[in-house]
Amino acid sequence: MATTARRGAPLTLDEIHAAALRLVDEGGVDALSMRKLAAELDVNPMSLYHHVPGKEALIQQICVAMADRLELPPDDGTPWQEQLRALALAYHALARAYPALFAYAYAHQQPGTDHESGIWAVLHRVLRAAGVAGPDLGRTGDVLHAFVSGFVLAETKGLIAEPGPAFDTAIDLIVHGLAGRS
Amino acid sequence: MATTARRGAPLTLDEIHAAALRLVDEGGVDALSMRKLAAELDVNPMSLYHHVPGKEALIQQICVAMADRLELPPDDGTPWQEQLRALALAYHALARAYPALFAYAYAHQQPGTDHESGIWAVLHRVLRAAGVAGPDLGRTGDVLHAFVSGFVLAETKGLIAEPGPAFDTAIDLIVHGLAGRS
DNA sequence: ACCTGAACACCGTTCAAGT
DNA sequence: ACCTGAACACCGTTCAAGT
């Protein structure tokens, strides 16, 4: 018999990730413990360590799983203002889908790790379309990423009184700021 | 004798806060444990609970202690662009002084708690000077706070490649965005 | 190869007891 | 009033042992 003692099927990394995402979704990152996760999967806590190096690594893994779910807007022919708004909306949607994990990912982000996969390519493409070039490109990209991250983070925390109008205000401010720079 | 068993002087809330800030400063919020804090103060772990309701409350307390150290720029007669920059710089300085705690405070901020004391008054004053009024005032204030918070957070995390120029880019973008709105 | 139980070194916090 | 020791219910993780 190849079946394990307590479960019908062997433990899977995807299974672990799904359960971990569920726990984090329900009670925040603090609610994720290796022991509770194992209980959720009906498995001995130590079995997890055969699929994952440790708790911190597991959290990193579900962070990139979240980042992979970011639906980057395609390069349709629409003006850069609209594409910038679409990108911000995608980021916004991701944060709303995984509020707790998004906040954790932003707070624990490391300089090297590029958790957002292709987001930088899209952002730079849009900025180039807006006429940003040379050394300004990298700086403006960093700034806009920080701005939008800060906004969606604040929004998911309930710190924005009127999220809808405030989102428009935010995008308008960025668009006018980009258009009106010296 | 009024002296305690292990220490010359009785435990003080200020003493606890100072030690907690030191621990967080050295190893991040995760490095703060009631037991390590007690050891640092040469005291039984349980003694802390006579001065503080619990760990989470203690962290909240040192967060407001940090917020109190925010040096808000005075209302000199300088143009609003300059005052906005000064306010952002003050926020920036606070984040650099307490990087770990600042990130924690932003990630765990609650809607009700106004951790930043007078910052909103200053921000709204500057925005009014910039010609923002009516329902735009609250929205724009929320947006700018989130933007600046996001930027200084990213900066303390080392996510901004060129912090100096990027800060200028960020302020310029906001200033032009405010000036050029419809 | 995959899983497990016991064990180690930690946590935050309660409670009854000390002075 | 302030402090303490023992205890409870948790953690993450190592390690040797099972199949």
Residues 6+ apart with CB under 8 A from B71: B90, B93, B94
Residue A5 phi/psi, 5-degree rounding, is -65, -45
- Given this model, what pLDDT does residue B118 score? 86
Does the pLDDT of residue A2 top 70, yes or no? no
- Given this model, what pLDDT does residue A60 score? 95
- Given this model, what pLDDT does residue B2 score? 29
pTM: 0.92
Q: Is B180 on the interface with A (CB under 8 A)?
A: yes
- Given this model, what pLDDT does residue A9 score? 73
Average pLDDT score over residue span A134-148 = 97
- Map chain A to HEC letters: CCCCCCCCCCCCHHHHHHHHHHHHHHHCHHHCCHHHHHHHCCCCHHHHHHCCCCHHHHHHHHHHHHHHCCCCCCCCCCCHHHHHHHHHHHHHHHHHHCHHHHHHHHHCCCCCCCCCCCHHHHHHHHHHHCCCCCHHHHHHHHHHHHHHHHHHHHHHCCCCCCHHHHHHHHHHHHHHHHHCCC
Q: Is A133 on the interface with B (CB under 8 A)?
A: no
CATH of B13-65, one of 3.90.850.10, 1.10.10.60, 3.40.50.300, 3.40.50.10190: 1.10.10.60
Pick from A147, A153, A156, A160 the residue to mutate for testing the B interface (most B CBs within 10 Å): A147
Tokens of B110: 């609650």
Does the pLDDT of residue A3 top 50, yes or no? no
- Given this model, what pLDDT does residue A8 score? 65
CA-nearest of B147, B135, B138 to B177 is: B147
What radius of gyration do chain B's Cα atoms show?
20
- Given this model, what pLDDT does residue A16 score? 97
Q: Is A145 on the interface with B (CB under 8 A)?
A: yes
CB atoms within 10 A of CB B42: 11
- Given this model, what pLDDT does residue A1 score? 30
Taking contacts as CB-CB distances below 8 angstroms, the residues of chain A near B109 are 157, 159
Q: Where are the domains of chain A?
A: 13-65, 71-181
State in words which class domain B71-181 has. Answer: mainly alpha
User: Taking CB atoms and an 8 Å limit, are A139 and B166 in contact across chains?
Assistant: yes
Tens-digit pLDDT profile for residues A24-39: 999 999 999 999 999 9
Q: Is A113 on the interface with B (CB under 8 A)?
A: no
- Given this model, what pLDDT does residue B28 score? 96
Query: A162 to chain B: nearest residue by CA?
Result: B139
Query: B164 to chain A: nearest residue by CA?
Result: A139
Residues 6+ apart with CB under 8 A from A153: A95, A102, A103, A106, B106, B107, B146, B150
Strand D, nucleotides < 7 Å from a protein CB: these are 2-6, 10-16
Query: Per-residue pLDDT for chain B (182 aa), expressed as one digit of tens each?
Result: 323 445 667 899 999 999 999 999 999 999 999 999 999 999 999 999 999 999 999 999 999 999 999 999 999 999 999 999 999 999 999 999 999 999 999 888 877 666 566 899 999 999 999 999 999 999 999 999 999 999 999 999 999 999 999 999 999 999 999 997 65
Average pLDDT score over residue span A32-51 = 96
Tens-digit pLDDT profile for residues A58-74: 999 999 999 999 999 99
User: Taking CB atoms and an 8 Å limit, are B151 and A151 in contact across chains?
Assistant: no
Strand C: residues with CB below 7 A: A 4-7, 10-11, 43-44, 46-47, 49-51; B 32-36, 45-46, 49, 54-56
Q: Work out how many CB contacts closer than 8 A connect A with B.
A: 142
d(CA A86, CA A82): 6
d(CA B143, CA A164): 12
